[in-house]
Amino acid sequence: MTRTRLVWAIAAAASAVSAQDPAATPATTVVEATRVVLAAGEALDGDQARIALRDGKVVAVGREIAPETLARAQRVRLPAGAVVVPGFVALRDQLDSAADLAESIDAFTPELRAAEAFDPFDRVLPWRARSGVTATVLAPNSLNTFAGIASLVKWDGERGSVAAADGYLLLALVESSLSRERYPTSRMGAADLVRGAFAEAADPLLGIGPEYAVLREVKDGGRRVAIHASTHAELTGAIDLARELGLSPVLLDAAEIENCIERLKGTSLSVALRPLDWGSRTAALQAPAQLAAAGVRFSFAGATGHALRRSASLACKHGLDRRTALDAITRVPAEQAGFGDRIGMLRVGRDADFVVFDGDPIDLTTRLLETWVDGRRVATTPGTSR
């Protein structure tokens, strides 16, 4: 056999192995734990508690990982009792850039992207990862009615990056979005601005420009929309606008949602709740279980892993089941943000974002051990063996 033929034969053999088992490559990392939670209510235990990672993605899980892969891969054995869960998703955060995430002069800026204000060396982002947040949705500030477009950002252990610039459009009906210096100055003015803007976007003569293109994407279902509303009056206004305009928004913050749950039954609206604390009102503590019982999808909109875990734990103490609680800090916020095809679950083809605990993550006595983003370990709790 000539040298050229030998080279081609070797290449063909390698290609055949790769075709039989796409996870079988020296660049593959296999992480092994006591339990791997792929999604809320779906876990792998014992010998099957392992996931294969390559190029920042999940490429195989459990029994799907072939023996050849295990033999060739870099294997990471986590400490005994370690539980791997999907990384936490922060649905709304300004990090250290709040002042740069609002255009206060103009209340109509739907085309502005939070990604334009992102600082890859933001001093807050590493701490988000160290708390268990693997994906942060950088959102515009709620200082104008049409605040702009949220973006997905991550930290790789050294610097941050924009993982996706196009997320949900944020509208705001809260008091901070109103101003005596420009229109709208009142909640009814804000509602009028929203109605008028969507009407103009539908008009081929008036709806010209990138700002109206964003509104048409929302109207056509091509872009998610979130409405920041806290009080009962603001929430009622948001629900009324959604029904009138045919929108399916996420109701963001929703501090007084307990009085609106009946109106949400059977609708496509979802809720992103303000984080819970030990001093939260009883009605707020009970709202997650009530939303779940009513069939209304919801998440917690905390910025840190501590706030998200605390919210999930307190909700469970007030009647929420643990599966729904974990969903509310992983899968649901990922879907609400418009990135459900990438983050929120450990599925083949999804981003390899996960956190490692020494037990149940909903139990606040459990310790966070490690944070992995895009298949890389970016944070380790001091004293944890690597």
- Predicted local distance difference test score (pLDDT) of residue 25: 47
Instruction: Give the CA angle between residues 291, 315, 313 to the nearest 5°.
Output: 145
Q: Which residue has the higher pLDDT, 16 or 335?
A: 335
| 62 and 188 share one domain | no
**pLDDT confidence band for 19 (50 / 70 / 90):** very low
What integer is the mean pLDDT of 244-269? 97
Range of the domain at 161: 88-337
On the question of pLDDT at 26 being above 60, the answer is no
* Residue 312 pLDDT class (50, 70, 90 cuts): very high
pLDDT digits (tens, 9 = 90+) for 260-296: 999 999 999 999 999 999 999 999 999 999 999 999 9
Could you tell me if residue 13 is inside a domain?
A: no
The answer to whether residues 211 and 190 belong to one domain is: yes
Residue 363, domain CATH: 2.30.40.10
Q: What is the pLDDT of residues 198-234, one digit of tens each?
A: 999 999 999 999 999 999 999 999 999 999 999 999 9
Whole-number Å distance between alpha carbons of 196 and 386:
57
Cα–Cα distance for residue pair 259/294, rounded to 1 Å: 13
**342 lies in some domain:** no
- In 3D, which of 242, 271, 244, 241 has the Cα closest to residue 258? 271
Q: Do 231 and 322 belong together in one domain?
A: yes
Q: How does residue 383 score in pLDDT terms, banded at 50, 70 and 90?
A: low
- 14 belongs to a structural domain: no
- Closest by CA position to 78, among listed 24, 129, 36, 128: 36
My answer on whether 44 and 118 are in the same domain is: no
Residue 1 lies in a domain: no
Position 193 in a domain: yes
* CA dist., res. 231 & res. 259, Å (int): 10
CB 197 within 8 A of CB 222: no
Least confident of 22-36, 47-61, 329-343: 22-36
Q: Which tens digit of pLDDT belongs to each residue from 37-51?
A: 999 999 999 999 999
Q: Could you tell me if 66 and 196 lie in one domain? A: no
Identify whether 15 is part of a domain.
no
146 and 230 co-located in one domain: yes
Residues 219 and 307 in one domain: yes
Rounded-to-integer distance, Cα 165 and Cα 149, Å: 8
Taking the C-alpha atoms of 165, 167, 171 and 175 in order, what is their torsion angle to the nearest 10 degrees?
-70
Are residues 114 and 216 located together in one domain of the fold? yes
Q: In this structure, is residue 5 part of a structural domain?
A: no
> Nearest to residue 357, comparing CAs of 298, 313, 297, 321?
313
Q: How far apart are CA 52 and CA 191, in angstroms?
A: 49
- Do 229 and 332 sit in the same domain of this protein? yes
* 335 pLDDT higher than 70: yes
The predicted pLDDT at position 384 comes to 52
Q: Residue 328 belongs to a domain with what CATH number?
A: 3.20.20.140
The helix (run of H) or strand (run of E) holding residue 306 is helix 305-317
Please name which of 95, 37, 39, 136 lies closest in space to residue 330, comparing C-alpha atoms: 39
The number of domains in the chain is 2
Pairing relationship of beta strands 83-86 and 35-39 according to DSSP bridges: parallel
Do both 232 and 274 map to the same domain?
A: yes
Per-residue pLDDT, 370: 98
One-letter amino acid of 53? L
81 and 98 both lie in a single domain = no
Considering the domain boundaries, does residue 386 fall inside one?
Answer: no
Examine the domain organization and report whether 103 and 118 are in the same domain. yes
60 contacts 69 by C-beta, under 8 angstroms: yes
Beta-carbon count within 10 A of 257 CB: 26
